[in-house]
Structure 1
Amino acid sequence: MNYTSLSISFRIGLAFHAMNNEGSSGTNVMEPRRISVGGHNYDGISGEMVRRHVLENFVRIAKSKKLPLSLAGEGLHSDRAKDLVKEWIAQNSEIQPIEDKGDGEKDGGGTQEEKKKKAILKMEPRHFAVASRKLLECCAIVDVGGFLAAISKEEKVQRDGKDYGVEGTLKRDSVFDVGWLISETPAIVEFSQHAAYRPDGQHNLFTQNMRAAVYGGVARLDLGRIGYNDWAWLAPDRNDLHLDDEQRRQRAAALLDAWEQWLLSPAGAKQAGWLQHTGQLEGILVLSNFGPAPFRSPIEVELRYDAEGSPLAERIKPNPRYRAELATLAEAKPGRYRALEFDGLPGLARAFDQARAAIGL
């Protein structure tokens, strides 16, 4: 790939929505997510919410392109790699049963037969590189979305018809990061009361919020890490620990498609009857072959105080310079960076097409 990292800095208008809430706090009032800065509440949509729906797009695209997906990966299960790691440990003859001495025990205790029953298969750091290669190969979500598989010895696997405890931890960081969407101005939140009717004639009252704002967002995609085995340094004598170039390109293309789809049609919570009205859309993509792609927030945080030491009224405000700063950087270092600005939906689609061509997808 010609560029190994891509960042997205953007502003998006969302109105009449309830895309992210914190819960009801034991009442019938659904409270929106908020960010408190300088005594003011700003509307927020968490990066986890955005990330979840980008990954949902990725799953659909991966299935359509017949990219490999495990069952837990397709379902975006939080422990999506645990069963894969357990299976790999069970099938790897290099990992031989050892006696489980228990917590704090030195001699294991019990008869020889009891010790055999307590035998465990333990993954150690020297196994990480080969195990990671297997997981990258069998599931694109494990590769792109990352995972943490922490397996305690109470978990069981079978080998040669016998049950063994299994122990080990394996981790992979996600190849993309997402910031919160933060409103440029203090939150505008309206509450309306609704009733949930039941066949017996009773009904429950509940209060739902509805918000409107222009939000600033940032994301960074480390495309060069897709299909790349983070633990390869533990087995430098192996040359087949990473996926091949074509597999990596396919997954990188799917991730760009997933992000483009989300920006063209944002998804979040409570949309069945509260689908957001989308409005303003602008931003900039920055491509980098010099480490992680730089980004700038479309919002600016004020850290100034008045003469009495009290926070100023406006603590968060729009940052009108965010695109110009990144474009100027790309012009100053054309061998390292490329900037692609966009306005509106057609501009976004064109910018992503230009990014795919520049990356070599």
Structure 2
Amino acid sequence: MKVRYRRIVVWGIIWLLTFGCLRATLLAAEICPPSTRDELNGAAENAAIWISENQLDNGRYLYEVAISETGEPVILGGYNLVRHAGTTMSLYQIIEAGESEYLVAADKGLQFLLDRSIETNEILAVAEGTADAKLGTASLLTISLVKRRSATGDARYDDLLIKLGNFIVEMQRDDGSMLNFWDQETNSPVPNVTSLFATGEALWALASLHNLFPEKGWDKAAFLTLDYITSQRDEDESVWPRPWADQWAAYSLNEMSHWGLSDNHIDYAKKLSSQFGVAVRWESQRNGGIDGLVHSPEPIAAGQGTWLEAIGMLYKLSEEDSRMEHLREPLRDRLLCAAGRMRVKQVLDTGVTEFDGGWFIGGISRVDGQQHALSGLMFAASSLEE
């Protein structure tokens, strides 16, 4: 009898511990602060203000800043041209949405890139000094120029867009994969070096170019890379879990939504939706207390911002493609949850230019945190009725 009683007690403890662990992890309550359209747009504008007010006269952005022990800003070193191009692109996105006051800052950021351009009769790339040119810089510069053209109607950079497109195609391999570096000494791609990030960026650039210049035939190259991403890239890059959470691929799918996407492409979009949805759910259960024992350190703001971008684009795709229709409301729910969490974590009202409008994780903020959050918050706002 005593043995049986002990077993019951032991199993009771095991079940209580199991339930407690589930309650602290998979079954934990989500915290999703509600937000209005104006609040989300306001947070996006605050990010744009941070970017523009911390920009140098030569167009360079404040790259990374920390909060000192005394509460003062500490400017950290380093710079990244790809992130510069992405930040410029995000400014053109908000300009395209109607906020023209950021055009001066965006154009200064654009000129910073053009001052570092490598141009021939056929191609254009961007690099610092004699360094290898990166595919991602050219791709995000391309999208920046496409967005600028859409926002302003100014076609002055069309010739550069064609050269950028030629460069991107030059970096494409026969299977649709993309090489990451261009060697200035050999005037050719560096063989056998690829990038998870740059492949999706290049696809979005090609898709954007085709929608702007349909007579140029950029769609053939775009479909080739989309097929590669949806069928082979994760295996080649040893990605796990699959698919890799690629917000640039989500941008691309939305850009190509009227092209006649295959069932395989849509299946990939559904899997992306699941990946980003799980990420938001897990992060939204970070409520302090015991869950700190089971959650990894909080992702940087740039990472959380990419979730917003991806889900925002997949939500737009669900509005265009009936095969995604059943995911429309779940995607919108995840988008608004993540956006609400980003909004309330934005630093405001300190009176310090380097702080206000930024996101600080572990006391540090980097420019791409503001970039990705800016874009994603706009997409979340657009999902709400005016």
What TM-score do you get using the length of structure 2 for normalisation? Answer: 0.22
Q: Answer 1 or 2: which has greater helix percent.
A: 2
Higher strand share: 1
CA radius of gyration, larger in? 1
- RCO comparison, higher one (Cα < 8 Å, 6+): 1
